[in-house]
């Protein structure tokens, strides 16, 4: 319980590495905000976090879109007075021409 009382955000936390990181934080006692674009995935991860005895908060957001990112930041700032850990795991790509 090294992270008891800490709050973590894991972007791209619905599956794969992000999910594993979110669950690892929960096993260590942290409450975890899990964000991704797919609601069903992050809801399942939040349930898994709660089964480990921590608080799991799912928040749908497409962090590759400025408007969605702003809504996410606003929600985080109203729900939490402080944050301790941020894992920027979400993958955002864009197409560009190579010269």
Residue 90 scores a pLDDT above 70? yes
CA angle 78, 84, 86 (to 5 degrees): 90
pLDDT tens for 4-43 read 999 999 999 999 999 999 999 999 999 999 999 999 999 9
The CATH T-level fold of domain 7-87 is Rossmann fold (3.40.50)
pLDDT of residue 99: 66
Asked if 25 and 85 count as a contact pair (C-beta separation under 8 A), the reply is yes
Kindly tell me the burial class for residue 95, based on how many C-beta atoms sit within 10 Å of its own C-beta (0-12, 13-18, 19 or more). exposed
CA 64 to chain centre: 14
Contacts of 80 (CB under 8 A, 6+ apart): 7, 33
pLDDT of residue 1: 78
């Amino acid at each position: 319980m090294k992270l008891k009382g800490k709050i973590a955000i894991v972007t791209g936390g619905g599956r794969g590495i992000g999910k594993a990181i979110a669950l690892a934080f929960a096993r260590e006692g942290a409450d975890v905000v899990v964000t991704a674009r797919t609601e069903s995935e992050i809801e399942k991860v939040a349930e898994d976090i709660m089964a480990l005895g921590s608080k799991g908060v799912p928040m749908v957001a497409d962090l590759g879109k400025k408007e969605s990112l702003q809504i996410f930041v606003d929600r985080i700032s109203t729900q939490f007075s402080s944050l301790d850990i941020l894992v920027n795991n979400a993958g955002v790509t864009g197409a560009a021409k190579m010269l």
